[in-house]
Amino acid sequence: MKIAIVGTGYVGLVVGACLAENGNEVVCVDKDETKIATLEAGKMPIYEPGLEEMVRRNHGNGRLLFSTDLPSAVGQSEVVFIAVGTPQGEDGAADLQHVLGVARDVGRALSKYTVIVDKSTVPVGTAHKVKAAVAGETKQAFSVVSNPEFLKQGAAIEDFMKPDRVVIGADDQRAADIMKELYGPFTRTGAPIMTMDTASAELSKYAANAMLATKISFMNEIANVCELVGANVDHVRKAVGSDRRIGNSFLFPGVGYGGSCFPKDVKALVKSSSDLGYDFKILRSVETVNEHQKSKLVRRMEEHFGDLAGRTIALWGLAFKPRTDDMREAPAIVVIERLLALGANVRAYDPEAAETARRIFGDRVVICDTSYETLGGADALAIVTEWNEFREPDFKRMRQLLKTPVVFDGRNIYAPEQMRTLGFEYVSIGR
């Protein structure tokens, strides 16, 4: 199938590469000439495991092309995906100006029946707005489909190639059949292709992310209660997670969630519900808990040291989660900004997010090349992102490098008994 993807951000690039991997002819379009030139040269604007190899392979085979020529790409395609950003406005609502702008551009470029797919995360009702925007520019027949993405950063390739489900919101059977044909090769193992109306499809994305965010904040609240009553959240988490109605995923306490999806989507669902006159109390509480949790490690440092002015804190992990370089809404930003405001010095390391951090903090934070480099002369270590390389470090070397052997573990990656045996003062979450 001939496909155009408008937008070469995280979603657009992953979707384009995966569709090309299955033999489709894909053109990824972006108005940013520098980004297109970078992709043509085989370099990635983002870090996602496996993506660079897949892009290079399919670009080399001629199945994946990059272009700034939207009319040409749309004109030769049967399906056009809109995968541009929907940034959060000041009031929490998703900003649709880029989506609707692309819709109008696509409308002007149509030369035959085409399926136009909303792949961006958009509020309920967007499909109708896109349809109106396209119809205002063309007399050609077309359909608008909502096809939300459910990609986890760090595992996006696996999620797309082997999805839990594919959601297709379509108001006509012709478009639904084309989308089923496109996704059929990805669901041969039995994953369902769910067809529904566009409003239900649009809401399903927000509902899924809101539920996952709720599980995270709920477990962080349980961890805080554990500290008050002397319970161990690891034991509580395992007992709760063994219930098949609940499951084990997203029950790990820590310093809160971040990234490009959960914070934005929770706020957007709260705002859109409010616009309809509904007060989404649970999600407002989820937001409040999450923001409070992000500064928990710093509060524990203040309890331990008292005045943090002049102290040096080593920090491991800057990205909002492992296996990505994304720092949008990352807990590390809140932790670092609070430490700097209290007069502390910060030395930080992340396997992939170093350049992103340098753009955010400039020279206010020392970004180190290795995890051990951060420890030299530091008063304590704070662990904010649970990269695998942090799980089994050289503890003896850590003790030698740290001025005082104190570890504030915001992801509970070590066993408290082990750390005490190794001679560390160890502070974790809910244990």
Edge to edge, the sheet with strand 193-196 lists 64-67, 25-29, 2-6, 79-82, 114-118, 142-146, 166-170, 193-196
**90 pLDDT more than 80:** no
The answer to whether 157 and 169 are in contact (CB under 8 A) is no
CA angle, 194 as apex, 189 and 196 as ends, to 5°?
Answer: 170
Domains, the chain, with CATH or none: 2-197 (3.40.50.720), 206-218+230-292 (3.40.50.720), 295-427 (3.40.50.720)
What pTM was computed for the model?
Answer: 0.91
The answer to whether 268 and 94 are in contact (CB under 8 A) is yes
Rg (CA), the chain: 23
Check residue 195 and give its pLDDT: 97
pLDDT band for position 146 (cuts 50, 70, 90): very high
What whole-number distance in Å separates Cα of residue 21 and Cα of residue 37?
Answer: 21
Mean pLDDT of the chain: 96
pLDDT band for position 278 (cuts 50, 70, 90): very high
**81 pLDDT more than 90:** yes
Residue 162 corresponds to which tokens in the numbers above? Answer: 């082997």
Dump strand ranges (E) for 95-160. Answer: 114-118, 142-146
Strands 345-349 and 366-367: parallel
What whole-number distance in Å separates Cα of residue 143 and Cα of residue 170?
Answer: 8
State what percent of residues in the chain have pLDDT above 90.
Answer: 96
State whether residue 232 is helix, strand or coil: coil
Q: In this structure, what DSSP letter does residue 423 have?
A: T
pLDDT digits (tens, 9 = 90+) for 332-389: 999 999 999 999 999 999 999 999 999 999 999 999 999 999 999 999 999 999 999 9
CB neighbour list of residue 5: distance below 8 Å, 6 or more residues apart: 12, 13, 15, 16, 19, 26, 27, 28, 29, 80, 81, 83, 119
pLDDT digits (tens, 9 = 90+) for 197-219: 999 999 999 999 999 999 999 99
pLDDT digits (tens, 9 = 90+) for 91-103: 888 889 999 999 9
Q: Which helix (H) or strand (E) holds 81?
A: strand 79-82
The answer to whether 77 and 4 are in contact (CB under 8 A) is yes
Q: CA dist 385 to 77, 276, 332, 431, Å?
A: 41, 37, 8, 18
What whole-number distance in Å separates Cα of residue 295 and Cα of residue 128?
Answer: 41
The answer to whether residue 226 is catalytic is no
> 35-73 b/e with 16+ CB inside 10 Å = b?
bbeebeeeeeebbbbebeebbbebbeeebbbbbeebeeb
pLDDT digits (tens, 9 = 90+) for 316-337: 999 999 999 999 999 999 999 9
**33 pLDDT more than 90:** yes
Check residue 94 and give its pLDDT: 84
Q: In this structure, what DSSP letter does residue 402 have?
A: S
| Start-to-end C-alpha separation, the chain | 53
Please choose, from the candidates 46, 122, 47, 137, the residue with its C-alpha nearest in 3D space to the C-alpha of residue 83. 122
Residue 198 corresponds to which tokens in the numbers above? Answer: 């566009």
**89 pLDDT more than 90:** no
Per the residue annotation, which of 18, 226, 261, 368 is the catalytic one? 261
Dump strand ranges (E) for 340-421. Answer: 345-349, 366-367, 380-383, 406-409
Check residue 87 and give its pLDDT: 85
pLDDT digits (tens, 9 = 90+) for 170-201: 999 999 999 999 999 999 989 999 999 999 99
Check residue 185 and give its pLDDT: 95
pLDDT digits (tens, 9 = 90+) for 390-405: 999 999 999 999 999 9
pLDDT band for position 127 (cuts 50, 70, 90): very high
